[in-house]
Structures are given as structure tokens and as C-alpha cells.
């Protein structure tokens, strides 16, 4: 993009309130080859301006752009929100929501209860190069994890007696896989179950089960393209599109006080904890696999010859192209050159082979696994794609959810704390409730609350004008200001955790 094109793009901009700091975000920012310092130089005089092309939620009246009203903004924000409550275990409930910037959205999420073993699974997947890989992960990965967690005797019984029974109970499952791919995926999963039976192991370990499931599914994404090609010479464009697109993943397994988080890429999980002084603490559980993680840079440098030191990481990206330094899919950075020439190049062109591609693989799907033993002071867990973390810090997000917890009680009718309460005590209760109503949040769903503040938040609260403008941008422009956002907030039962043995 040159300066003249940038100026043309921004020539129909509207002025935004001073103090607004926009970021070049989204798929275009994260994965495009361009040098974004150059783009910033071109637009340095326009940092308070942005495009206001006509989109859904925006209207023209007498030549003046009319932004969506507060009610219309709320409808947009709440479109994908979901809540699930539980009656037992350490998780009381969770809230989730998604807001697209790309069209179609490249983020996905999935949540499920293991049916044959204890534990709740929750995953957030941030796709790039299209939504295909992230959508497939959301449908398949939790099944692979649930299978890996089965003790050997239960696994054998399951495979021999009832292999069609679902291993997980999913919630809010909105993604549908096309029929011909379903058969491919079912066959891969059956093969994985057989491999698990033959795998030597001593009991079940959640940490190794998470890693094994992620690596196995990533391997299957490749095999489902390569094996048919080797047998028949045919290339299925559907399985190839999944393999060449990619996604980062953050998956948690919660069983009583035991919290495990597996992370591949740059999503994050943050724990909201209350200290002795009733102040909120943000415990960032995960570490991003990107160029800001020096351990990741050293790992990649050490895996390739010294002669590639200047090319393996360029402009803070893998081979100058990919921002996350670990991901699932993305076999453009994993397959041998000859395989790329035979499979990828005929379908997508010579650009299928990245520049300076000399000693593959350059990319791994191996996750980092984190463990935390929950205590009564741990109140909630936030799992989110980097669309949220680009806009706010872990501590800001934890404080917002903490304030939301306090305020959302006022969505429920007033309940007297005991029978035979005196009128004076009732009056005190009502006065306190009236004062506290000032902190009542606009949204019942905490994930929506976070997204609203991420987009429209200022130091003085949420600014409707900013929020309405950013929600009204067309997708091609929106990606320059914000990324897709997917947020899941998991609430813990403090009383349950208090009763768990140390």
C-alpha cells in the first residue's frame, strides 16, 4: 500500500475524539508481508481519522452518516454471547462471546464436558489465512483430548463396544463440517483410538494427554492431504485449504481444583485472583509464542543453521510472514520443499513456498502446558484470542470482570437475607442496593462486557461514539483497527474449592 492509496482510503474519514489510539490489527496486520512501519509513516497525519464507509448498522441521511444507536450497538455486541451454568464441581458457570472483524470471522471457540472422565474442556482458536483450520479444530480437538484422557480399560471397552457414542457433551456448537469431510475425520479419529490402545503408558496424565492430542490432530491435518495424494495423485482442495490455513489454540482442562492450560501461539489465559486485601490480581498463565518471547526466538534460531539467522525471523515474523511462532496447520512452514511443489504450488501458486525456505520444518504445533492448583482466592479464568489482549492488559481485564461480578448481582431480584428481618434493616439494605446500582453493568455476560470495554473503553468509561464508529467499519478497513475477538470467562465455585483437601 503506497502513500497515495492510503490518503485516498482515508479521504472519506471522520474525525474521532482526540486521545484515540488506533492499532493496525487483525489478520492483515498479523500475517501480511508488508512493512507496517512504512504504513504508519504514510498515515501519521491521520491518526485521529478513520474510514466510515457504509456498512450494516450505518445509514446515510441527507448526506450525513448516521451511526448505530446505543441499542443497535448492544444488539451487535450481544449477537454471539452464550452462558452455561453448572450445578456441581469447581466451575459455577462460564460466559462466552465473539465479535468479528474479518468476514467471515476467523476465530472459533468450543466448550464441552468429558462424558467418560471428569473434567470440563474449553478452547479458543484464532485462525489466519482463512477460517478453515480454526473451524476444524473447534470441531475435532476436544474429542482428541477426551480420547487421550481415557484410562486403558475404558478406552478398550469404548472401542470394542460402542465407538459411536460421543466422548464429550458440547455446548453452543454452531459449526457444521461438510459431509465428505466428516467421513475423513471419523476415519482419522478411529485410527487414533486404535493407536491409543497400543500406546505404552502408565496411567493417565493430563499434561501428556493434552500435548499428545494436539500433536496428533496436527499430524492428521497433514496426513489427510498427503496420503490420498501418494495413493492416487489426487489433491482434495478442501483438506488442503485446512492444512494450508492455520490457527493458534488455547485449551483448558478443569477438574475440581486442577487447572491445566495448553497453549500454541498467541492466545492467552489469565486467572483473576483476589488477595488478602480484597484487591484483584491478574495471573497470566500462558506465554505467547511470538517474537516478543525471547526464548521462542532462541529456540527457532537453534533449530536452523547460523547462515539463516537473518532470514528465519524477519520483521518479527517467521520467514518474514507469520506472526505466531507456533501454530496448528500452516503446513507451508512444515512440509518439505518437494511436497510443497507437488501439492501446494499447483493449487495456490509459487507463493505457497515461503521466501528463504531452506531447512523445514520451521513451525511446530507442540504446546506449552501449564498447571495451576485452584484455591478459593481464584475467582475466574479469562481465555481469549489476541484481539482482546491487543486492546487491554491482563490486569485491566481482571478488574473489569471483578467489577462486573460485583455489579451483575443487581440483575437478580432482591432477596432478603433472613426471615423476620426488621424494617430498619430492610431500609438499610435498599439504600445500599440503590447506591450499588450505580455499578450495575450494561451487559449480563462478562465476555460481552470485556469486548464492549476493549473497543469503546476510555479512562472515563465506555465512549458510545468510538464504539459505534469501530463497529460500523467495513471488514476491509476494520482489520486495520481491531482483530476478531473471542472471549470465554469461567467462574469458579469458591466454596467447592475451600472444601477440597490441600
- Looking at the predicted structure, is the pLDDT value of residue 11 above 50? no
As a whole number of angstroms, the distance between CA 454 and CA 487 comes to: 11
pLDDT at 113: 98
159 found inside a domain: yes
pLDDT, tens digit, 9 for 90 and up, residues 210-223: 999 999 999 999 99
pLDDT, tens digit, 9 for 90 and up, residues 316-344: 999 999 999 999 999 999 999 999 999 99
Please say whether the beta carbons of 267 and 384 come within 8 A.
Answer: yes
227 found inside a domain: yes
Helix axes 394-407, 446-456, angle to 10 degrees: 130
3-state secondary structure 120-185: EEEEEEEEECCCHHHHHHHHHHHHHHHHHCCCHHHHHHHHHHCCCCCCEEEECCCCCCCHHHHHHH
- Looking at the predicted structure, is the pLDDT value of residue 27 above 60? no
Domain count, the chain: 1
128 found inside a domain: yes
Mean predicted confidence (pLDDT) in 116-133 = 97
Q: What is the pTM of this model?
A: 0.85
Q: In this structure, what CATH number is given to the domain that contains residue 290?
A: 3.60.40.10
185 found inside a domain: yes
502 found inside a domain: no
CA distances from residue 190 to 135, 237, 392 in whole angstroms, order as listed: 20, 23, 42
Beta bridge partners, 323, equal none
- Looking at the predicted structure, is the pLDDT value of residue 39 above 90? no
CA distances from residue 284 to 85, 125, 287 in whole angstroms, order as listed: 25, 18, 8
Domain hosting residue 326, numbered range: 109-266+286-375
361 found inside a domain: yes
From the list 81, 201, 152, the residue with the least C-alpha distance to 449 is: 81
φ, ψ of residue 35 to 5 degrees: the values are: -90, 115
From the list 277, 295, 269, the residue with the least C-alpha distance to 487 is: 269
pLDDT, tens digit, 9 for 90 and up, residues 441-493: 899 999 999 999 999 999 888 999 999 999 999 999 999 999 999 999 999 99
217 found inside a domain: yes
206 found inside a domain: yes
Amino acid at each position: 500500500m503506497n502513500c497515495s492509496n492510503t490518503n485516498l482510503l482515508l479521504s472519506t474519514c471522520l474525525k474521532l475524539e482526540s486521545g484515540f489510539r488506533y492499532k493496525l490489527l487483525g489478520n492483515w496486520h498479523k500475517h501480511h508481508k508488508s512493512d507496517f512501519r512504512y504504513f504508519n509513516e504514510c498515515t501519521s497525519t491521520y491518526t485521529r481519522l478513520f474510514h466510515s464507509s457504509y456498512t450494516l448498522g450505518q445509514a446515510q441521511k441527507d448526506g450525513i452518516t448516521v451511526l448505530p444507536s446505543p441499542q443497535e450497538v448492544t444488539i451487535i455486541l450481544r449477537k454471539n454471547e452464550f452462558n452455561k451454568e453448572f450445578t456441581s464441581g469447581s466451575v459455577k458457570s462460564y460466559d462466552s462471546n465473539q465479535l468479528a472483524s474479518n468476514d467471515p470471522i476467523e476465530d472459533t471457540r468450543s466448550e464441552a464436558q468429558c462424558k467418560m472422565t471428569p473434567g470440563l474442556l474449553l478452547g479458543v482458536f484464532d485462525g489466519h489465512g482463512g477460517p478453515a483450520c480454526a473451524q476444524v479444530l473447534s470441531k475435532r480437538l476436544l474429542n482428541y483430548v477426551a480420547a487421550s484422557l481415557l484410562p486403558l480399560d475404558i478406552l478398550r471397552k469404548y472401542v470394542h463396544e460402542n465407538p459411536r457414542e460421543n466422548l464429550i457433551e458440547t455446548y453452543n456448537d454452531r459449526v457444521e463440517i461438510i459431509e465428505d469431510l466428516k467421513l475423513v475425520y471419523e476415519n482419522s479419529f478411529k485410527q487414533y483410538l486404535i493407536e491409543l490402545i497400543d500406546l505404552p503408558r502408565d496411567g493417565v496424565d493430563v499434561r501428556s494427554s493434552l500435548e499428545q492430542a494436539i500433536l496428533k490432530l496436527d499430524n492428521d491435518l497433514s496426513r489427510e492431504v498427503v496420503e490420498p495424494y501418494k495413493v492416487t495423485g489426487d489433491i482434495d482442495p478442501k483438506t488442503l485449504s485446512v492444512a494450508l490455513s492455520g490457527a493458534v489454540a488455547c485449551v483448558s482442562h478443569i477438574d475440581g481444583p486442577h487447572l491445566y492450560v495448553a497453549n500454541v501461539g498467541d492466545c492467552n489465559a489469565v486467572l483473576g485472583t483476589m488477595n488478602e486485601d480484597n484487591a484483584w490480581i491478574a495471573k497470566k498463565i500462558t506465554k505467547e509464542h511470538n517474537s516478543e518471547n525471547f526464548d521462542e526466538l532462541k529456540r527457532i534460531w537453534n533449530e536452523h543453521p547460523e547462515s539463516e539467522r537473518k532470514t528465519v525471523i524477519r520483521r518479527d515474523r517467521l520467514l518474514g510472514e507469520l506472526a505466531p511462532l507456533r501454530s496448528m496447520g500452516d503446513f507451508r512452514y512444515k512440509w518439505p520443499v518437494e511436497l510443497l511443489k507437488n501439492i501446494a504450488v499447483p493449487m495456490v501458486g509459487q507463493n505457497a513456498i515461503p521466501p528463504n525456505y531452506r531447512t523445514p520444518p520451521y513451525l511446530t504445533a507442540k504446546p506449552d502446558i501449564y498447571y495451576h492448583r485452584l484455591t478459593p482466592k481464584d475467582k475466574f479464568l479469562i481465555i481469549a484470542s489476541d484481539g482482546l489482549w491487543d486492546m487491554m492488559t491482563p490486569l485491566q481485564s481482571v478488574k473489569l470482570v471483578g467489577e462486573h461480578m460485583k455489579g451483575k448481582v443487581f440483575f437478580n431480584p432482591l432477596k432478603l437475607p433472613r426471615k423476620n428481618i426488621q424494617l430498619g434493616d430492610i431500609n438499610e439494605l435498599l439504600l445500599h442496593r440503590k447506591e450499588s446500582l450505580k455499578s450495575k453493568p450494561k451487559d449480563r455476560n462478562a465476555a460481552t462486557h470485556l469486548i464492549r470495554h476493549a473497543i469503546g473503553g476510555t479512562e472515563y468509561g465506555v465512549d458510545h461514539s468510538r464504539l459505534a464508529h469501530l463497529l460500523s467499519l467495513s471488514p476491509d478497513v476494520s482489520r486495520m483497527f481491531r482483530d476478531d475477538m473471542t472471549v470465554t470467562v469461567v467462574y469458579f465455585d469458591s466454596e467447592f474449592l475451600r472444601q477440597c483437601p490441600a
